[in-house]
A and B are shown apart, each in its own frame.
Chain A
Amino acid sequence: MEFWLTQAFNGISYGALLFLLGSGLSLVFGVMRIVNLAHGSYFLLGGYVGLTTAARTRSFALALLSGSLAVALIGLGMERFFLRRLTRQSLPQVLLTMGFALVFQDLALLVWGGDPYNIAVPAFLAQSVQAGPVFVNFYRLFIIGVAFAVGVVLWLFLERTRAGASIRATVDDAEMAQGVGINVPLLSAGVFALGAFLAALGGVVGAGFIGVYPGLDFEVLPYAFVVVIIGGLGSFHGVVVGSLVVGLLDNFGKALFPELSYFTLFAPMALILALKPTGLFGKR
């Protein structure tokens, strides 16, 4: 019982982190149909920028803010100056984003070196409390809280604002959206920056938990894709479900079948994709 509760809690909190990572990728894919291989790099860079800010200012809140804003700017630049001229050309987009991923990887190594770091989290988050048979780590609760808050804001934004409605319209049919007067290029730039922002926020939050180290970018990238594919490309509900499923599958997979744990994660993804190419909740 204790095992199941602990693993479930860990799985849910890891899923919360994956939600931050995956929601941006899903939005970007939905609006622009881009397979962005640099999405894991945003997570990594966010973590590193947050790390430096936290070391300089001793403020975790500033670390969250600076990490995600800095990377949002990088995303904006990538979209505006490179990806915009490659609209709907999937192969050049893949190669371009891989190029950026390699550049970011090497620059991060140059600036922050090869050692793993953990970001210093506020003292009240660093403690644990025993609830019944389970040790509840406050930082894991904090991650769940952040993901929940981001999820609510994102949902309100997508469902209740004009910009959100434009995004949903573009996900459904970009050409038609353009036709009825939605400024799709502007929207794409905004969504791309938002996607980078969310991934980087995940990176800073994750830096207090799994740390930040070289190779983290390509380690989290598959997870981002699994979440988005299982949930459904471009679907908000899908990402919520996908990140929880993947967080739990990953935790229980690692605990129960350590040798096949990636297989238990990736095989369902491939199967879902084969049966329903748009993912569980994706539309066309």
Chain B
Amino acid sequence: MTARRAIPFSACAALLLAVPPFLPPYPLTLLTQILIFAIFAMSLDLLLGYTGLASLGHAAYFGIAAYAVAILATRSQASFWVCLLAAVFAATAVAAVFGFVAIRAVGVYFLMITLALGMVVWGLAFRWVSVTMGDNGISGIARPTLFGVSLASPLPFHYLSLAVFLAAFALLWLVVRSPFGLSLQGIRETERRMRALGYDVWLHKYLAFVLAGGFAGLAGALWAYYDGFVSPVEVHLVTSVETLLMVALGGPGTLFGPILGAAVIVLFKNLLSIYTKRWLLILGLVYIGVIVLTPKGILGALRGARR
């Protein structure tokens, strides 16, 4: 990290650490939501922004992890660490299987196959009632006690989410700056040249797909504890597309873009639904507006303005 970047980054991290105790409960929970969806959006950006693969089924991995936590925590009373590991493992494993099926496809066919795979997971969540409780969802996921601290109240849970978020950010930062991450960006730009240079394009894409699934799972596991409730909405196409919107809105191909996009969409949805019943209509208009007005996302627009 260059010094120019390190200063604002440390400032942001310090602010995130210092401010929460002074926030009232509602804004604090919003901030927690933003962190969780930021992890989710960053994981998708590894595919969309860095590798150039637009997935229409990314909510599958988020949802599988959330369901894993829900099922283990409510039926087996499994501990936090067991749930977290199992959830991330489940999401990664499913991504590893789905990756085999999906990575061969390119362009619009990749969209279609990830859509189809996402539907498989949604169909199971919706209809496999004996395991998932179907449309009713699984409720009553209790927040754990870690190192003697109960995470039931918003503040300690926020710090857990912050810790996970910072860890995910650091790991993803390492990934995208590594030779592997640079090769992914090379594949995004000119796949043919990378192949000619001897890179195993399939393997790079596949690993990016699996990693993205794993990080989405991390976000999904946190979400299950945050909300205490998991339902098929978590794996629905609408959730997948909303995450795409977060990335597209913030600016794909950066790590800060998805965070910004997640913050905007989470705040927008929550605050708007307080003031108007027509928030869905307005969210729809936001989609349309983003596409028509800011094709490169907020970060892209800011950069354009600076030039």
The residues of A that contact B123 with a CB separation of less than 8 Å are 222, 261-263, 265-266
- Kindly state the separation between the CA atoms of A261 and B124 in the bound complex, as whole angstroms: 8
Given A101-B284, A277-B109, are A259 and B120 neighbors across the interface (CB < 8 Å)? no
**B117 and A96: CB pair below 8 A?**
no
**A94 and B241: CB pair below 8 A?**
yes
Q: Please encode chain B, from 96 to 119, with 1 for each CB lying within 8 Å of some chain A CB and 0 for all others.
A: 000001101101110111011101
**A82 and B280: CB pair below 8 A?**
no
Within 8 A of B (CB), among A79-119: 82, 86, 90-92, 94-96, 98-107, 109-110
Nearest CB of A to B8, in Å? 29
Nearest CB of B to A231, in Å? 13
The residues of B that contact A98 with a CB separation of less than 8 Å are 238, 241, 245, 284, 287
Given A82-B292, A91-B54, are A262 and B116 neighbors across the interface (CB < 8 Å)? no
* CB contact between A259 and one of B108, B129, B244 (< 8 Å): that residue: B129
**A96 and B291: CB pair below 8 A?**
yes
The residues of B that contact A266 with a CB separation of less than 8 Å are 116, 119-120, 123
The residues of B that contact A267 with a CB separation of less than 8 Å are 120
Q: Which of A138-146, A170-178, A196-204, A268-276 contacts B (4 or more CB under 8 A)?
A: A268-276
The residues of B that contact A60 with a CB separation of less than 8 Å are none
The residues of A that contact B21 with a CB separation of less than 8 Å are none
Query: Using a Cβ–Cβ cut-off of 8 Å, how many residues does chain B contribute to the interface with A?
Result: 46
Q: Is B1 in contact with chain A by the CB < 8 A criterion? A: no
The residues of B that contact A261 with a CB separation of less than 8 Å are 123, 127
Given A33-B108, A270-B101, A274-B113, are A259 and B283 neighbors across the interface (CB < 8 Å)? no
Residue of A nearest to B286 (CB): A99
Most buried by B among A106, A229, A233: A106
Which residue numbers of A lie inside 8 Å of B, CB to CB?
A: 33, 35, 37, 82, 86, 90-92, 94-96, 98-107, 109-110, 218, 221-222, 225-226, 229, 233, 258-263, 265-267, 269-271, 273-274, 277-278
Which residue numbers of B lie inside 8 Å of A, CB to CB?
A: 48, 54, 56, 101-102, 104-105, 107-109, 111-113, 115-117, 119-120, 122-124, 126-130, 236-238, 241, 244-245, 248, 278, 280-281, 283-288, 290-292, 295
